[in-house]
Each structure stands twice: as structure tokens, then as C-alpha cells.
């Protein structure tokens, strides 16, 4: 069992928890994720790691209550325990593979939408600890849904934009990125994490601007081990699985339309059977047919 040390509501239906998991905290890096179960009867929930503390042996998660299991998770309090915390899973951020010298030569921008703000934080914090400056654009529908603002201000140059103009800049994250570019911020590396549709249009813009872009495909995970087939996607014409080959990929090579269509189909049993029949041996990960 894994004890919850702290539990808070960051915004409406968005909750933050700090969990005691020393082995996970000791091994994880920015960009990786966890699989948790609330209890022995619960479903597996993939969640990206928002932060970690190796000395205290803790990991931090942020979850949006949008289904039965995440709602059940959101009701837990400090002192309660989780049945399982498995991780770290997935590959770390590509930024972790670069030297400090390489990183300092880059002008990096992160674009975070909604709950996608949480997995951006450890990457920005990682860069700050290395003495590397970066910009972060946080997008939310309205001011009340902006999360982790104060913590981001400590590790980056923060730009907030809201769809309704109630806080910060007005408009979508793509407009904020274009405005910053026009203001002279010539970025040469972008990381976008958020809703699928947001990442699609960010990549469309960054391709026009010539900015290499990495996206995190964590929104489409279900099982987290490559066996369920939910996170199968096409990247550069090749079959990949977000949970074992990612979750980060070259955003300019991801077939977002296919990925979004699979998300819709995977929600029903009939849709899952259709995908299994259509995709054959490449439907599941670990089949030996996927690179």
C-alpha cells in the first residue's frame, strides 16, 4: 500500500496528491508516468508524474475527475492509501538526453493545456536546476482553471492565456505562441502537452514556423504496458505505442486524426472489436511486429 501524504483540490475537478513511493521517486525522470490503482478492485489509471522528491521518497500526481475511477481517486484524503503505484513507466523526456551545453544553446518553449500543465512542470524545473532558461505557455478555458502558477513562476518565464480572456493573454495557446514569436522570441525547440486537439494545432503552427516539436501522447493511454492496444498510433508511417515507445514523439510525424479517431472508438466494446479486427497483429504492443 502507498500512503497519500497530501491531497488538495487545485481547481474545479482537478486534484493534486503527494504519495509515498520511495522506489519510484528514486528512479523517475521528467516525462515518465505511473500506473495506479485506488483499491484491489480498481481499474489501472495512467498518470504522468508532476514532481518527485528523492530525499523524501515521494511522487506528486495531478488528476482530473472525469470518470468513475478518477472520481474515486479524487475523494481520497491525506492518510488514505493506494493499492498500487507502478513506475516509472515510459521513456524520459528527450531533454534528459541532452548535455547542459546543448540545452543552453536552445531557446525552449513549453506549451501546456489543461491538466497537461502538470507533466510540463518537472521538465521546466529540471531545466531550472541545470541553469537553463525556458518559456512556458499555460492555456486554460478560464482563470479558475489555471493550476500551478506560483510554482511555474519560480522555474521559468511564464505566459498564461485564457480562452475567455479572464486572465493573462486572451485566446488559444497557438495565438500566444504566434504573438511571442512575432515579439522576437525565435524558439528552436517546443514541447507541447495537453488535449489531443491542442497538440495537433500547436504542431501545425510550429511546422509553419520551423520549430521542432515534441508532444506527449499520454492522453490516449489505458493499460500503460502496451498490451491493451489503446495507445497504438502512427508516427512517421510506423506503428508505435505511446506507453512503451513514448510517451513523447516528434509531433510533426504523429497522425493526430487517426489517434483521435481511435480514442473515440476505444470507448465502446464494439469499437474495440472493430479496431482489433482492422489492425490484426499490430493491435497490441509487444507483438514483435512494431518498431
The answer to whether the CB of 61 falls within 8 A of the CB of 47 is yes
pLDDT at 287 over 50: no
Is residue 111 domain-shared with residue 173, that is, in the same domain?
A: yes
Report how far residue 163's alpha carbon sits from residue 171's, in angstroms, rounded to the nearest whole number. Answer: 5
- Which of 43, 71, 89 is where one domain is finished? 89
Question: How many distinct structural domains can be found in the chain?
Answer: 3
pTM score, whole prediction: 0.86
Q: Calculate mean pLDDT across residues 20-30.
A: 95
Distance CA 251, CA 248 (A): 8
Name the least confident of 70-74, 91-95, 232-236: 232-236
Mean pLDDT, the chain, rounded, equals 87
Residues 96-108 pLDDT 10s: 999 999 999 999 9
Task: State phi, psi for 10 to the nearest 5 degrees.
Answer: -80, -35
Q: Are both 23 and 58 inside the same structural domain?
A: yes
Range of the domain at 149: 98-216
Same structural domain for residues 102 and 203? yes
Among 65, 89, 113, residue at a domain's last position: 89
Strands (E), the chain: 2-11, 14-20, 33-37, 45-53, 58-64, 81-82, 84-89, 108-113, 134-140, 157-162, 169-170, 189-193, 213-216, 232-235, 238-241, 248-250
Whether 288 shows a pLDDT value over 60: the answer reads no
Q: Between residues 275 and 257, which one has the greater pLDDT? A: 257
What is the per-residue pLDDT for 289?
A: 37
pLDDT at 259: 81
Among 89, 108, 140, identify where a domain stops: 89
What does the pLDDT read at residue 275?
Answer: 47
Q: Which residue intervals of the chain are DSSP H helices?
A: 22-27, 68-74, 100-104, 117-129, 149-153, 173-182, 196-209, 242-245, 256-265, 269-279
In which band, very low, low, confident or very high, does the pLDDT at 225 lie, cut at 50, 70 and 90?
low
Query: CA neighbours within 13 Å on the CB side: how many for 84?
Result: 16
Indicate whether 28 and 121 sit together in one domain: no
34 with 119, same domain: the answer is no
Residues 192 and 234 reside in one and the same domain: no
CATH of residue 72: 2.40.30.10
For residue 240, name the pLDDT band (cuts at 50, 70, 90). confident
- Return the number of other C-beta atoms located less than 10 Å from residue 219's C-beta: 24
As given in the structure block, the three cell numbers for residue 158 are 511564464
Query: 208 and 224: one domain?
Result: no
Tell me what the mean pLDDT of segment 193-208 comes to.
95
* Domain co-membership, 107 together with 211: yes
Q: What is the mean pLDDT of residues 261-282?
A: 54
The mean pLDDT value for 209-233 works out to: 75
Both 119 and 206 in one domain: the answer is yes
State residue 263's pLDDT score.
65
Burial of 41 (0-12, 13-18, 19+ CB in 10 A): exposed
- Residue of 6, 5, 13, 7 whose CA lies nearest to 147: 13
Q: How high is the pLDDT of residue 106? A: 95
110: left (phi over 0), alpha (psi -120 to 50) or beta: beta
Angle subtended by helix axes 269-279 and 256-265, to nearest 10? 130
Same domain? For 103 and 176 the reply is: yes
* Percent of the chain topping pLDDT 70: 86
Question: What per-residue confidence (pLDDT) applies to 233?
Answer: 83
In this prediction, residue 286 has a pLDDT band, given cuts at 50, 70 and 90, of very low
135 & 196 share domain: yes
**What is the rounded CA–CA span in Å between residue 209 and residue 188?**
9
Query: Same structural domain for residues 104 and 203?
Result: yes
Amino acid at each position: 500500500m502507498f500512503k497519500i501524504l497530501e491531497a488538495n483540490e487545485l481547481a474545479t475537478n482537478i486534484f493534486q496528491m503527494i504519495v509515498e513511493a520511495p522506489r519510484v521517486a528514486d528512479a523517475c525522470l521528467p516525462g515518465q508516468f505511473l500506473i495506479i490503482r485506488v483499491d484491489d478492485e480498481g481499474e489501472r489509471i495512467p498518470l504522468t508524474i508532476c514532481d518527485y522528491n528523492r530525499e523524501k521518497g515521494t511522487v506528486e500526481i495531478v488528476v482530473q475527475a472525469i470518470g468513475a475511477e478518477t472520481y474515486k481517486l479524487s475523494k481520497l484524503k491525506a492518510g488514505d492509501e493506494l493499492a498500487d503505484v507502478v513506475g516509472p513507466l515510459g521513456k524520459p523526456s528527450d531533454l534528459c538526453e541532452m548535455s547542459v551545453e546543448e540545452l543552453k544553446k536552445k531557446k525552449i518553449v513549453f506549451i501546456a493545456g489543461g491538466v497537461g500543465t502538470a507533466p510540463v512542470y518537472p521538465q521546466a524545473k529540471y531545466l531550472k536546476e541545470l541553469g537553463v532558461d525556458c518559456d512556458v505557455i499555460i492555456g486554460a478555458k478560464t482563470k479558475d482553471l489555471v493550476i500551478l502558477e506560483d510554482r511555474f513562476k519560480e522555474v521559468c518565464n511564464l505566459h498564461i492565456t485564457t480562452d475567455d480572456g479572464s486572465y493573462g493573454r486572451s485566446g488559444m495557446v497557438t495565438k500566444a505562441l504566434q504573438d511571442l514569436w512575432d515579439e522576437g522570441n525565435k524558439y528552436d525547440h517546443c514541447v507541447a502537452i495537453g488535449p489531443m486537439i491542442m497538440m495537433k494545432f500547436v504542431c501545425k503552427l510550429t511546422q509553419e514556423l520551423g520549430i521542432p516539436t515534441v508532444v506527449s501522447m499520454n492522453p490516449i493511454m489505458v493499460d500503460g504496458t502496451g498490451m491493451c492496444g489503446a495507445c497504438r498510433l502512427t508516427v512517421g508511417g510506423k506503428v508505435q505505442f505511446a506507453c512503451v515507445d513514448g510517451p513523447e514523439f516528434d509531433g510533426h510525424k504523429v497522425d493526430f486524426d487517426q489517434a483521435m479517431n481511435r480514442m473515440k472508438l476505444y470507448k465502446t466494446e464494439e469499437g474495440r472489436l472493430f479496431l482489433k479486427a482492422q489492425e490484426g497483429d499490430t493491435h497490441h504492443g509487444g507483438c514483435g511486429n512494431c518498431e
